[in-house]
Structure 1
Amino acid sequence: MDTQFLNTFVAVVDRGSMAAAARLLNITPAAVAQQIRTLEREIGAPLIARVGRTVNVTEAGARILERARTLLRDVADLRTVANDDATAGELRLGAGTNALTGMLPDILARMVDKFPRIQVFIKPGYSPELHRAVDSGELDAAIVLQAPYALPKTCDWELLREEPLVVLAPARMAQRDPHELLASEPLIRYDRSQWGGRQADQYLRTAGIVPHERFELNALNAIAVMVDRGLGVSLVPDWARPWPEGLKLARIPLPQPFEPRRIGIVWSRSTIRLRLVQAFVQQARAAMAATQHDDD
């Protein structure tokens, strides 16, 4: 059995369509369909039910899905086992939306320069799901928000960056009181279903501010653009660059002390790629130190 066909099956299930899987795998939809048909013949059961342009996993497909994922991870591990050093193999990482553009590229630039033989798989996502992926062994490590609960004993965490809450306002409002802005101007809320959004909501409650809500979303770059366009103000963490270009914004510190948003690396101590993970952590420290030096 060709493990590439299993990889295609998992991609189709995860992406929800053959066309989306084809884009991910950089092959044609016809090739995806052919690989699925071949796999179904080898397994002896239908794995995918086609519904228009989308697909559903069959009962037989659901039964083998997790075993397929495990087998693919085991195959990827063979390279790490064969290369008994920290300079080769595949590293499976996760990163939140802002870390993907604001922190991870600088860290990976150092990794690739120092360890050119590594291969890196990157899974984007929100911090809660990435924490679970590391705990389950799906990922080796992830750049995430600090969890608001105790980590499993199999996982480690290291702080990389602290981001204090700031009032984001149009530049013309830079001299106004931040609490007055939050109480009087329309508020573009940072999504309260996410950890960072709940932190901002807690500050508003602690300060006794009842805002006039206009929008709520979990996209910091989009919030910045909305503030620039005069749609309101926002209470957000002072997240890592890059930000959208050409915006005229004021980042106003808060008058009351409050816990910053903390971003760091969580990793599994039980991963077979622990030495690669440790090398990644080391390069992350160096990248964050260089960023701090540039900011100073």
Structure 2
Amino acid sequence: MDIDFLANLLLVVDSGSMAEAARRIGVTPAAVAQQIQALERELGVSLFVRAGRTVIPTEAGHRVIDKARGLVRECSELKAFALEGEAAGELRIGTITTALLSLLPDVLANFAAAFPRAKVLIRAGTSMELYETLQRGDLDVAICLHPAFALPKAYDWHLLREEPIVVLAPLRMKDEEPHELLRREPFIRYDRSLGGGKQADQYLRAAKIVPHELFELNSLTAIAMMVDRGLGVSLVPDIISPLTAGLAIARMVLPSKTEPRRFGVLWHRASPRARLINGLLECAEHVLAREGERRKR
């Protein structure tokens, strides 16, 4: 029985569909379906029933899934144990989209050079999804917003970046008053189900600003591009991304103080991949230091 097939079985369960599982691991839905069928033939039971675009585990499927989680985790730990003391192994990283489109590519470039024998698997998701996946043992490290609750002592957290909440406006409006822009111009809202979107919404309420809402999006990069095209203004965390560096947009400081959005690295203290996680942290710090030097010039 192929342990990778079992790992992908769990990904189908956690993501809710074969299509989403396939997207996350970079294969076709048909390839994932073939792996599930191979498991079903080997086990002699049906593992899923279809419900629209989603799949629901059968009774036998639930039993297999419960056992598979332990097997996949133990196999992963066995690999890490076998490679103990070597700069090799597999590192499963979960990340919020913002980090994936800004900081992470440079960090991974450094990491690949420092640990050429390491295999990196990346999964994108919201901070809460990543925290829950980390708890289940399906991730080694999560790059996410700091949870709004106290972390259990079993976990470590390392801050990577603080991003102030700013008004994004077309460059031609850079000298205007930020609150007046939020009241007057069409408003492109950052998704209120996400941490930065919640912070922006709280600020608007506290300032008694009711914007003329045009769109609500969960992509900061897309929002910046829409502002660049003159579609409106927005209130978002001030991200640093090569994808937005060339846009004709103004980042305007708010008149009232607000807490920045904080994201960093979260991992289990007892992780068998401590060496690779520490290596990832060192690479991240190197990239951040380089960014700081560029901003001073």
1:128 maps to 128
Q: Say how many residue pairs are matched.
A: 295
Determine the structure 2 residue equivalent to 1:17: 18
Sort the Cα spacing of 1:119 and 1:230 in 2 relative to 1 into closer, same or farther, 3 A: same
Q: By how many angstroms is 1:107 displaced?
A: 1.2
Q: Which runs of 5+ in 1 are unaligned?
A: none
Structure-2 change in CA distance of 1:44 and 1:25 (3 Å): farther
Residue 64 of structure 1 aligns to a residue whose secondary structure is helix
C-alpha distance in 1, partners of 2:160/2:23?
36
Report sequence identity in percent: 52
Could you tell me which residue of structure 1 aligns to residue 78 of structure 2? 78
Give the whole-Å Cα distance in 1 for the aligned partners of 2:264 and 2:193: 20
Partner of 2:188: 188
CA distance in 2, matches of 1:167, 1:24: 36
Distance 1:19 1:233, change over 3 A: closer
Partner of 1:102, secondary structure, is coil
Q: Deviations over 1:29-65 (max 9, x none)?
A: 3x65554344223323111335688644322112211
Please say if residues 94 and 124 of structure 2, whose CA atoms lie closer than 8 Å, have aligned partners that are also in contact. Answer: yes
Q: Give the match for residue 118 of structure 1.
A: 118
Task: Report which stretch shifted further, 143-152 or 15-24.
Answer: 15-24
Amino acid at match of 2:128: P
The amino acid across from 1:108 in the alignment is L
1:93 corresponds in structure 2 to: 93
Structure 2 Cα separation of the partners of residues 191 and 243 of structure 1: 20
Which piece of structure 1 moves more, 220-229 or 170-179?
220-229
The answer to whether the 8 Å contact 1:137/1:268 transfers is no
Aligned mates of 1:222, 1:177 — CA distance in 2: 24
Larger deviation: 33-42 or 201-210? Answer: 33-42
Matching residue of 2:242: 242
Residues 283, 167 of structure 1: alpha-carbon distance in 2 compared, 3 angstrom cutoff: same
* Change in CA separation of 1:46 and 1:136 when aligned onto 2, cut-off 3 Å: closer
Q: Any idea what SS the aligned residue of 2:203 has?
A: helix
Aligned counterpart, 2:3: 3
Contact 1:87 1:276 in 2 (8 A): yes
**2:103 aligned residue:** 103
Contact 2:16-2:55 within 8 A present in 1 as well: no
| Residue matched to 1:60 | 60
Task: Using structure 1 for the length normalisation, give the TM-score.
Answer: 0.89
Alpha-carbon deviation of 1:6? 2.4
Distance 2:20 2:252 in 1: 45
RMSD (Å), alpha carbons:
2.5
